[in-house]
Amino acid sequence: VSLSERGEFGFIERMRSWLPDGGATVGIGDDAAVVETTGNSVVAATDALVEGVHFRSDWSSPSDTGFKAVSVNVSDIAAMGACPRWILLALCAPPETTEEVLRGLYEGIEEACAAYGTELVGGDTVRAPQLTLVVTAIGELEGKEPVTRSGAEVGDVVAVTGPLGRAAVGVNLLLSQDAKDSSPEDAIACMAAHRRPRARVDAGAQLHQVAAHAAIDLSDGLGSDARRLSESSGVGFEIDLGRVPVAPEAGRIAAARGWDIERIVLGGGEDFELLVALPREQLEGTDWIEIGRVVDDGLWLVRDGQSVPLPDEGYDHFRT
Amino acid sequence: VSLSERGEFGFIERMRSWLPDGGATVGIGDDAAVVETTGNSVVAATDALVEGVHFRSDWSSPSDTGFKAVSVNVSDIAAMGACPRWILLALCAPPETTEEVLRGLYEGIEEACAAYGTELVGGDTVRAPQLTLVVTAIGELEGKEPVTRSGAEVGDVVAVTGPLGRAAVGVNLLLSQDAKDSSPEDAIACMAAHRRPRARVDAGAQLHQVAAHAAIDLSDGLGSDARRLSESSGVGFEIDLGRVPVAPEAGRIAAARGWDIERIVLGGGEDFELLVALPREQLEGTDWIEIGRVVDDGLWLVRDGQSVPLPDEGYDHFRT
């Protein structure tokens, strides 16, 4: 059964039967969703995933794509130190999209909602030439101050909340269409990191406990996200390349294939770990990894004891 | 200058220079937007406008399209009896999109934000084969109860907040590529209603004053939106065709061209007036137009004194 056979309103009826009952005051099926908030701050982010640009249907299952569409938005909420709560989905789909695909997308969305404690409360379904998922995530600060990109202070430690490089190695494996000379476990872990990233909601909730000065989620690569954090804060960053934690699976595959792991980590993106600037004494008690420090100005990479300008290798959607 | 020459981040810098400074705690340029709410309810809606499906670039200017993308979402917030406050925009655009087009889109968005008292606080910009604007509108109930689709009661008056048919006649004129035998003023008014609809925020704010039981915005046509309101409320509707207010411009053009105005009004859509069920005694004091009543069951159209089943002519995005 395709969308064009079911029709828009037939599909919405059916889709509602796939979803659990939620806690929204007004959920799916009215003009707008109504939710009850605590505190007086609401945090909102919207991100689009376009087939052929952000995902490929021959690489990712519909469920992967649904999961990822929620993750990338929840990650933005977590990077503000906020708690993600509600999800809206604008689904743009070709008329020939099958119910199997739609069902898979919503399964992935529901799995992500369950993982993050969020609820799908509304959306829109429209015809489009290319499958596109635009998710809006709404979260709450629950009385706390937002952790922005602009508060890093000279002397802060720069840390990441986990190892990097899996998703970018996963994409390279998928592009090379050949994972045969890698360990299957390593290849699967890296491809899964691309297909079904996990937002660091736990680390986001920790940002206040460590009095973090600034944070950003690593979506475009350590190089360009560090640049963004430092520019927003009006300070410089010095990154010790030797301290940057490379995910072991990613490191092994890159080594076996002769891929430049430095470039992958700096330019690869989609790790969705948080990059945080915080007071040095606060790092203790976290399992975050110190990778550098906030300095007066400039963006520096310390490689083999030599300080060099940080390469600008991040992903830009429009540059070719 | 195209998006691909400017780059994603170059564009975002530039776009920020086009926008006024707003009141958000954290606006455009961080991981997520942070806004301060009053009361404990937040209302959210998301709607996509896809080029070639919802708008055509040979019919509507970029500024029209930006304005409309905000209007259709603000209309959903108004139909809940809520006050629209914040806007997020996920812009999916081909790399060759020119800065002139982008500038126009944002001009229209800003004009709409100014008209509705809303603020653009965040978004995303991605590459896509088709120009698509996905807006999320967030509003507040300010301590009031939401006006849903499900509260209509037998005995209620059914009213619309203004005349219908302009936008659908406008589309028909644009499709026929020939407005020459219509009065220029009438044709312009109808085409403008399609290109740049106004959300009835004022009428939405009135819903509580008249103790409205249920409301929906007329986006898909009186026929299918009345069906949706009655089904959500578990009641029937009887619509007096003779009372349905046809916009004079639309009526004159339809008459001159032999177009079936009944079909246009019932099936045409995009009027963005509100359809409201309210206690009879409350209608006085509004300038809304009574068009029928809530009955036990069924959907009936009273035409020349005869009650007939209401035709189901609304727009469905996927049915062909």
The Cβ-side half-sphere exposure at A3, using a 13 Å CA radius, reads: 21
Q: How far is A31 from chain B (nearest CA, A)?
A: 5
- Helix, strand, coil percent values for chain A (each to nearest 5): 35, 25, 40
Higher pLDDT among residues B247 and B6, named by residue? B247
Task: Report the distance separating Cα A208 and Cα A215, nearest Å.
Answer: 11
The model's confidence at residue A11, banded by pLDDT at 50, 70 and 90, is confident
Strands (E), B83-211: 83-93, 119-127, 132-140, 157-160
The strand pairing partners of A237, in sequence order, are A294, A299
Tell me, what's the pLDDT at A191? 95
Instruction: List the single residue in A42, A126, A137 with the smallest CB-CB distance to B37.
Output: A42
A278-303 pLDDT tens trace:
999 999 989 999 999 999 999 999 99
Q: Pull the structure tokens for residue B216.
A: 């929906």
DSSP A299-313: EEEEETTEEEEPP--
Least confident of A267-281, B27-41, B73-87, B88-102: B27-41
CA B15, B85, B30, A74 dihedral sign is: negative
Pairing state between β A119-127 and A83-93 = parallel
Cβ of A35 within 8 Å of Cβ of B53? The answer is no
Q: How far is A129 from chain B (nearest CA, A)?
A: 7
SS3 for A168?
helix
Least confident of A31-40, A257-266, B310-319: B310-319
The model's confidence at residue A182, banded by pLDDT at 50, 70 and 90, is confident
The strand pairing partners of B289, in sequence order, are B160
Backbone dihedral angles phi then psi of residue B314, each to the nearest 5 degrees: -65, 170
High-pLDDT (> 90) share of chain A, %: 81
Q: Is the pLDDT of residue B314 over 70?
A: no
B153-180 pLDDT tens trace:
999 999 999 999 999 999 999 998 776 6
Q: Which are the contacts of A181, defined by CB distance < 8 A and separation ≥ 6?
A: A256, A257
Q: What is the mean pLDDT of chain B?
A: 93
Contacts of A146 in chain B (CB under 8 A): 25-26, 30, 34
Residue reference for tokens 């992967």: A64
Q: Write down the ipTM of this complex.
A: 0.93
Taking residues A139-144, report their average pLDDT: 92
Q: Give the chain A residue whose CA is nearest to the CA of B26.
A: A148
A183-200 pLDDT tens trace:
889 999 999 999 999 999
Cβ of A79 within 8 Å of Cβ of B149? The answer is no
Higher pLDDT among residues A87 and A38, named by residue? A87
Instruction: List the single residue in A26, A41, A53 with the smallest CB-CB distance to B146.
Output: A26
Task: Report the distance separating Cα A225 and Cα A205, nearest Å.
Answer: 20
What is the model's pTM?
A: 0.94
Q: Which ranges of chain A would DSSP assign to H, the alpha helix?
A: 3-6, 8-18, 62-78, 99-116, 166-176, 184-195, 201-206, 222-233, 248-257, 261-267, 280-283
Taking residues B61-65, report their average pLDDT: 98
The model's confidence at residue A251, banded by pLDDT at 50, 70 and 90, is very high
Q: Pull the structure tokens for residue A286.
A: 């976290």
The Cβ-side half-sphere exposure at A225, using a 13 Å CA radius, reads: 29
Cβ of A25 within 8 Å of Cβ of B146? The answer is yes
Tell me, what's the pLDDT at B320? 45
Task: Report the distance separating Cα A311 and Cα A298, nearest Å.
Answer: 12
How many other CB atoms are found less than 10 A from the CB of residue B275?
28
Task: Report the distance separating Cα A85 and Cα A118, nearest Å.
Answer: 4
